[in-house]
């Protein structure tokens, strides 16, 4: 397991509500269990010397289409995560980076997110990217607008330069995408960054994703060959 360890793994954390239904609990309990499992995944990634993990925590579609009650709870859960798990992230040397537009969140939530980002900014062991109110198409549009604002000429726009305007600027692209919950799509997630990622789909619901399954995915990844068109 020491050879060819990916530097960046992205996760689509799907299945919290189905997990709750399966266990005869409210959807709120499913989200809470999912947040608890995220902490375990971060610790696992740190032990494996994986440098970056990116998690699809809340899509822009989720934010606009879920019920007000569920969104209010997710905001509360997010605030509590920032308050209660900051010390855990600090202990494990995790830096926090936000992908997406959190300006529309309640002020108390954005304040705690910004405080957590600030307090963890000097950590170097692992980067945790949290995609919040995030959409891949919106990220590309936003990058394009910022390029225009900078008055960059068309001849200067290369793939490398364009990537500098994405939320993940200065980061490597994910070698692996893992989606839990059984669906076989990427759902507007990291559309630019996933161009050459290896995709893994599992029927396991996010709260049930364990280290043993992650280890099997890594073994499978190590057997794959990337040719980049060669």
The structural domains of the chain, with segments of one domain joined by +, span 8-135+174-223
Q: Could you report the per-residue pLDDT of 149-186, keeping only the tens digit for each?
A: 999 999 999 999 999 999 999 999 999 999 999 999 99
Supply angle C-alpha 223, 229, 230, rounded to 5. 80
Rounded mean pLDDT for each run of 10 residues along the chain, 230 residues in total: 83 96 94 94 94 96 90 93 92 96 96 97 96 97 96 94 96 97 97 97 98 97 78
The token duo for 78 is 């997010």
Residue 45: half-sphere exposure toward Cβ, Cα within 13 Å: 28
Stated pTM of the model = 0.94
**pLDDT score for 1:** 43
Q: Assign domain 8-135+174-223 to its CATH architecture.
A: 3-Layer(aba) Sandwich (3.40)
For residues 180 and 14, what is the distance between their CA atoms, to the nearest angstrom? 5
Q: Would you call 62 a catalytic residue per the annotation?
A: yes
The DSSP annotation for 36-102 comes to: HHHHHHHHHHHHTT--EEEEEEEEHHHHHHS-HHHHHHHHHHHHHHHHHHHHHHHHTTEEEEEES--
SS3 176: strand
CA angle 186, 61, 184 (to 5 degrees): 20
Please confirm, yes or no, whether 123 is among the known catalytic residues.
no
Residue with tokens 């910022």: 146
The answer to whether 182 and 201 have CB atoms below 8 angstroms apart is yes
Buried b (16+ CB within 10 A) or exposed e, 171-180: bebbbbbbbb
Q: Which of 16, 62, 97, 129 is flagged as catalytic?
A: 62
Contact between residue 190 and residue 129 where contact means Cβ atoms under 8 Å apart: no
Q: Given 14, 37, 129, 173, which residue is catalytic?
A: 14
């Amino acid at each position: 397991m020491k050879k060819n360890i990916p530097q960046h793994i992205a996760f689509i954390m799907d299945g919290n509500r189905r997990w709750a239904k399966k266990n005869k609990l409210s959807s709120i309990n499913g989200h809470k269990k999912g947040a608890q499992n995220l902490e375990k995944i971060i610790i696992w990634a740190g032990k494996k010397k994986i440098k970056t993990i990116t998690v699809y925590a809340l899509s822009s579609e989720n934010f606009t289409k879920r019920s007000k009650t569920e969104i209010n709870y997710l905001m509360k859960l997010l605030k509590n995560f920032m308050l209660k798990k900051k010390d855990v992230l600090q202990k494990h040397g995790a830096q926090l980076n936000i992908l997406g537009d959190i300006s529309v969140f309640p002020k108390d939530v954005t304040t705690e997110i910004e405080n957590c980002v600030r307090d963890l900014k000097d950590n170097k062991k692992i980067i945790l990217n949290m995609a919040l109110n995030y959409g891949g198409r919106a990220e590309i549009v936003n990058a394009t607008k910022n390029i225009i604002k900078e008055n960059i000429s068309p001849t200067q726009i290369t793939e490398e330069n364009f990537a500098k305007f994405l939320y993940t600027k200065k980061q490597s692209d994910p070698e692996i995408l893992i989606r839990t919950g059984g669906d076989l799509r990427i759902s507007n997630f990291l559309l630019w960054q996933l161009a050459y990622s290896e995709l893994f789909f599992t029927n396991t619901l996010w709260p049930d994703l364990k280290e043993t399954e992650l280890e099997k995915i890594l073994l499978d990844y190590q057997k794959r060959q990337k040719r980049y068109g060669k």
